[in-house]
Amino acid sequence: MQNVIKDRIFMVTGAAGGVGRAVVKQLAEQGAKIIATDIAENVHDLAKDFPEASLVTVVGDVSKSSDVENIFNVGEEKFGPVESLISNAGYMIGKALHETSEEDWDAVMSGNAKSFFLCAKRALPNMLKAGKGSITATGSISSVVGLPSQAAYCASKGAVLQLVRQLAVEYAANGIRVNAVGPGAINTPFLTRYLAGLPDPEAGAKAVKDAHPMKRWAEPEEVATSLIFLASDNAAFVTGHILMVDGGYVAG
C-alpha cells in the first residue's frame, strides 16, 4: 500500500498523554511531519524519545485561543500549514450532575469541546485555501451513551461528536473530512487517575474491563491506529463518522 502519511503535516494535541504519544510514535515511523502539543511541559520529551522524527513540540493550553494561535504559528513556521489536525487533548472530572460545580462544568467543556472548536477554527482557513485537509477528534463511548458519574464529560464528548458531524457536512465539498474515534477505556494515565479515584480501584478495574464485551481495555496504540487511519487518505471517502474502538461496548 502507498504510504499516505509520509511528509504530510499533522498536528497532534494532547501529545504528551497516552494516546497522543502513541499517535506521534506511529506517525514518526511513517515519516510524517508532526506538530506535537500539550499543556504538559514533558511534551518536549518526545523529541528525545523519537530522535529520528520530523517533529516540533509546543507547550500550550488548547482551550485558550491565544495559546492555540501560538501553537499553530510555531508549527506553521517549522513545517507549513497543518494538513491533518488530530484533536486529542481531553480532560475528565468524574461526577454526577448534582455534584458538578459550575467550575467543573466549564473546565470539562473547555478541555474537550472548546479546545476542539478552537483548533478546528484555526486549522480550517488554510485547509479551505488548499482545498483539502482532515480533522479527526478523539471522542469516547461517552459521545454516544450515558455513563454514571460523567455528567459534564458525556456532555462534552457528545458536543465533540455533533461538531464532527456538523463540520463534515459544512466542509465536505471543500475536500475537508472530519471524523472521530470513540474509544472505550484505554490503558493511559487518564484511566489510572480515574481508577485511583474509586473507593476500590481493583474492583473498579475489573468492572471497567467486564463492561466491554471483549473483557479488556484498549492499549493506546490501538486507538492511535484508528485516529491515523481516519486522518489519512486511506479514509478518503469517510466523513462525519465515529469509529468506535471499544471492544464492542456500544454494540450491545
Ligand X SMILES: NC(=O)c1ccc[n+]([C@@H]2O[C@H](COP(=O)([O-])OP(=O)(O)OC[C@H]3O[C@@H](n4cnc5c(N)ncnc54)[C@H](O)[C@@H]3O)[C@@H](O)[C@H]2O)c1
Residues with catalytic function: 153
- Whole-number minimum distance, CB 130 to ligand X, in Å? 25
Among 10, 61, 113, 152, binds ligand X (CB under 6 A): 61
3-class SS at 177? strand
Among 10, 72, 79, 91, binds ligand X (CB under 6 A): 91
Rg (CA), the chain: 17
Instruction: Name the burial class of residue 63, with classes exposed (0-12), middle (13-18) and buried (19+) by CB atoms within 10 angstroms of its CB.
Output: buried
CA–CA distances in Å: residue 31 to residues 26, 27, 237: 9, 6, 23
Which residue, chain included where needed, has cell 459544512? 170
Work out whether strand 133-138 and strand 84-87 pair parallel, antiparallel, or are unpaired.
Answer: parallel
3-class SS at 133? strand
Rule CB under 6 A: say whether 39 interacts with ligand X: yes
**201 grid coordinates:** 480501584
Among 111, 133, 158, 247, binds ligand X (CB under 6 A): 111
- Whether residue 13 contacts residue 119, with contact meaning beta carbons closer than 8 Å, is answered with yes
Q: Quick one: 61 or 83, whose CB is closer to ligand X? A: 61
Rule CB under 6 A: say whether 115 interacts with ligand X: yes
Query: Of the listed pieces 24-32, 88-96, 122-130, 230-238, which binds ligand X according to CB under 6 A?
Result: 88-96
Rule CB under 6 A: say whether 50 interacts with ligand X: no
Rule CB under 6 A: say whether 249 interacts with ligand X: no
CA–CA distances in Å: residue 32 to residues 14, 122, 233: 17, 21, 13
Among 86, 89, 123, 235, binds ligand X (CB under 6 A): 89
**DSSP assignments along 41-89, one per residue:** GGGGHHHHH-TTSEEEEEE--TTSHHHHHHHHHHHHHHH-S-SEEEE--
Rule CB under 6 A: say whether 158 interacts with ligand X: no
x-marked contacts with ligand X along 201-230 as a string, rule CB under 6 A: ------------------------------
Rule CB under 6 A: say whether 93 interacts with ligand X: no
What number of chain residues touch ligand X (CB under 6 A)? 28
Among 5, 11, 16, 53, binds ligand X (CB under 6 A): 16
Query: Of the listed pieces 59-67, 125-133, 199-207, 234-242, which binds ligand X according to CB under 6 A?
Result: 59-67
Rule CB under 6 A: say whether 135 interacts with ligand X: no
Q: Quick one: 7 or 41, whose CB is closer to ligand X? A: 41
Rule CB under 6 A: say whether 17 interacts with ligand X: yes
